[in-house]
Structure 1
Amino acid sequence: MTTHHEMVEAALARITTGYVFPEKTAVIDAAIRRRLAEGAYRGLDVRELCERVTEDLQRACPDKHLRLLWTEDPQSLEEEPESVARARFAQHARESNYGVRRVEQLDGNIGYLDLRMIAPADLGGLATAAAMQLLSTTAALIIDLRQCRGGSPEGVQLWCSYFFADDGVHLNDIYERDTGSTRQYWTLGHLTAPRYLDRPVTILTSELTFSGGEELAYNLKVLGRATLIGRTTRGGAHPTARIPVAPHVTVTVPTARSINPVTGTNWEGVGVEPDLAVAAEDALKAALAHLRAADGAGLAADGRTSG
């Protein structure tokens, strides 16, 4: 059985070798070892240990992706073959309908997309295209990201591409520590469904919106393509590795970071702020009112489109 001390040591080793900001690892290591020496983790069960260490990690370095997580099902400590990991994730994505929870035409010919996950483009591309095909004739669009907890940068790139005319829009860059390289993400030149152009787009956000969901909102906001309505998002901008350190414990280590080409920064720790702040549960109602009042939207509250 892995002891608390061994779990913490293994987690610290992974953070030291993999964290995207290597200059911060000494402070993190010292803070957690100090807590170990103080006996802060004695007498805790494993689930409580994960919660306490996560609190201490984020106190030492406020990165919401830096966590020790309890997993209900036991996991092997052997490195999982990449093909197995891909197959498991593909099954999860398929069972989640590639994140597309609901597509609907609301009164006034307003499209509504409830997106819970940003699936990788190679897995979710057809679902993305199907959703955008159904929404293609609407006069305005609401993208609901209030329960979107994250996803793939390539998936974000695909979704964003539908809202710009061509492949000439620079969306995001991601710097990776292990290679020291920076990958650029631009809009895609070829799409399966029609692009959604010259019509208003609003995005609904909440305190739960995280990671890839935040990138989608951030990209479209800073490029002036969408109006955000709701609450400031959770604030996680760092692609992250999940590494088992015990049968029921995983350490999550941010290994890369986003760099937006417009702002030169990202939403890590601060979240994405809405243009119109309202309670998350009121965001859909506020978005409908905003779209119907917007100049040039051509939307009537009685369900008709104006000439």
Structure 2
Amino acid sequence: MRIFLSQLFFSVLMFPVGSSAIAQAPGPAPAAAEAAFDAKEAEAAVTELAKALEENFVFPDAGKNYAAMLRANLAKGAYASFPSAKDFAERVTADLQAVHKDGHLRLRPVTAEMRARRGGPGGGRSGGEERSAVSRSGWLTDGVAYIDFAGFPGNKATIAEVEEFIADHRGASTLIIDARRNGGGGLDEMNLLFRELYAKPTTLVTMDIRQAVEEKNGTPFGEDPTLRKIAGPATVIRREHFVTPTATPGPLAKAKVYLLTSKNTFSAAEHLSLSLKRTGRATLIGEATGGGAHFGGVVPMGTGYAAFIPVGRTFDPSTGNSWEGTGVAPDIAVPADQALAKALELAGAKVDAATALLKLGPVRTTAR
């Protein structure tokens, strides 16, 4: 299952802004900074953005407030002139955040180069070899396995590498999952890990989506067997994400698990963080995560822009609280660059973190 970018029910523009819990955190788009401002494109983008937020934003009242603000600013000429498309998009994003803060919601300019590289609105990823999002993995020392994710794209290359990693490291007594640079994505990769890490069926987190949005557009989740509908408020469709262990749980179900986090751990990587923390299955080490708990997708706005529209929220079923705006707090707070060393210390490993990583080779260029 992939609840981000083209797999969401919207007509999606595939360019590297990332997506949700499931959508990855918007990433850098340096080429967009050079795009020229066009007043007609800007007007079309604001008009479509107001409509999309009013109809689809996870919180209906906030969606209406966003729309009212955008239409009022457009009417008084607040979006008529800017030095560049980037400046305009940043102003709109700031205006949105002033109405109601959301870690995913933002407007971005789109260049011709982005469309060509990613296949255009509604198109798929074009050109280039599919790459895994596993930056590096392997044995750090005897009994201590390590895997570093740059994201959770759910592509074949990443899935294959995770499956191979599990097969080769099932006997680990300690597993270190590095999510310090993980901007998010979907559930596929973490689901592969979950079924190995848990010894009994376990509810992880709860996910709500506006009922009107799903009834209009269909489910963004497909037939994911790890999600099931449960009772919820009248205006939302509620699901719980759960794990069913492998038929014969192996040593990983009893292994110590450490999850490394930073302020750059975002969205689906925070879904992973909360799931492991609230069930007591892992010790989180590092920094509080980035604070984006609302899933959705990237939608074209006119011809020159696109916006990430959050349509649902993920939260702790025990408390009702999400990590939106606050992040998931680590169990052991240390600077992010010291998190691996701390995990190795807790694992009783007699190896220096930098030396251990050298054995795995350099960080690979990965999919995001």
Which TM-score bucket, shorter chain as reference? 0.7 to 0.9
2:32 alignment partner in structure 1: none
In the alignment, which of 85, 89, 94 is matched to residue 50 of structure 1? Answer: 89
In structure 2, the CA distance between the partners of 1:35 and 1:159, relative to structure 1 (3 Å rule), is: farther
- Please state how far the C-alpha of 1:74 moved relative to its aligned partner: 5.0
1:296 alignment partner in structure 2: none
- Please state how far the C-alpha of 1:246 moved relative to its aligned partner: 3.2
8 Å Cα contact 2:194/2:245 also seen in 1: no
1:120 equivalenced with 2:166 (yes/no): no
In the alignment, which of 9, 12, 15 is matched to residue 47 of structure 2? Answer: 9
- Paired residue secondary structure (2:313): strand
- Paired residue secondary structure (1:95): coil
Q: Which runs of 5+ in 2 are unaligned?
A: 1-37, 215-235, 354-368
Q: Distance in 1 between matches of 2:336 and 2:120?
A: 41
Q: Distance in 1 between matches of 2:324 and 2:251?
A: 30
- Give deviations 1:240-280, integer Å, cap 9, x for gaps: 12111133411110011113323322211111111111111
1:96 alignment partner in structure 2: 131
- Please state how far the C-alpha of 1:124 moved relative to its aligned partner: 4.6
The 5 Å alignment of 1:157-176 reads 157-166=191-200, 168-176=201-209
Q: Distance in 2 between matches of 1:108 and 1:31?
A: 58
- Give deviations 1:187-210, integer Å, cap 9, x for gaps: 134479956122211111111111
Q: Which runs of 5+ in 1 are unaligned?
A: 293-298
2:24 alignment partner in structure 1: none
Q: Which moved more, 1:69-78 or 1:212-221?
A: 69-78
Q: How many residues of Structure 1 are paired with residues of Structure 2 in the alignment?
A: 288
In the alignment, which of 20, 29, 35 is matched to residue 67 of structure 2? Answer: 29
Report the AA paired with residue 143 of structure 1.
I
The 5 Å alignment of 1:221-240 reads 221-240=277-296
2:172 alignment partner in structure 1: 138
Which structure has more RCO (C-alpha within 8 Å, separation ≥ 6)? Answer: 2
Q: Which moved more, 1:11-20 or 1:104-113?
A: 104-113
Q: Distance in 1 between matches of 2:262 and 2:342?
A: 13
RMSD between superposed Cα atoms in Å: 3.0
Q: Distance in 2 between matches of 1:240 and 1:5?
A: 23
Q: Distance in 1 between matches of 2:257 and 2:205?
A: 20
In structure 2, the CA distance between the partners of 1:245 and 1:289, relative to structure 1 (3 Å rule), is: same
Report the AA paired with residue 289 of structure 2.
T
- Please state how far the C-alpha of 1:58 moved relative to its aligned partner: 1.5
- Please state how far the C-alpha of 1:158 moved relative to its aligned partner: 3.1
In structure 2, the CA distance between the partners of 1:238 and 1:123, relative to structure 1 (3 Å rule), is: farther
- Paired residue secondary structure (2:101): coil
1:204 alignment partner in structure 2: 260
In structure 2, the CA distance between the partners of 1:10 and 1:226, relative to structure 1 (3 Å rule), is: same
- Give deviations 1:112-133, integer Å, cap 9, x for gaps: 1101112338875433221112
- Please state how far the C-alpha of 1:301 moved relative to its aligned partner: 5.3
2:220 alignment partner in structure 1: none
1:183 alignment partner in structure 2: 239
- Give deviations 1:15-67, integer Å, cap 9, x for gaps: 11111111212222233345443636632311111112112212211111111
1:276 equivalenced with 2:337 (yes/no): no
Q: What TM-score, normalized to structure 2?
A: 0.70
Percent identity reads 29
Q: What TM-score, normalized to structure 1?
A: 0.83
Report the AA paired with residue 285 of structure 1.
A
In structure 2, the CA distance between the partners of 1:143 and 1:302, relative to structure 1 (3 Å rule), is: closer
- Paired residue secondary structure (1:69): strand
8 Å Cα contact 1:70/1:249 also seen in 2: yes
- Give deviations 1:55-84, integer Å, cap 9, x for gaps: 22122111111110223435499962xxx5
1:246 alignment partner in structure 2: 302
8 Å Cα contact 2:115/2:121 also seen in 1: no
Report the AA paired with residue 131 of structure 2.
S
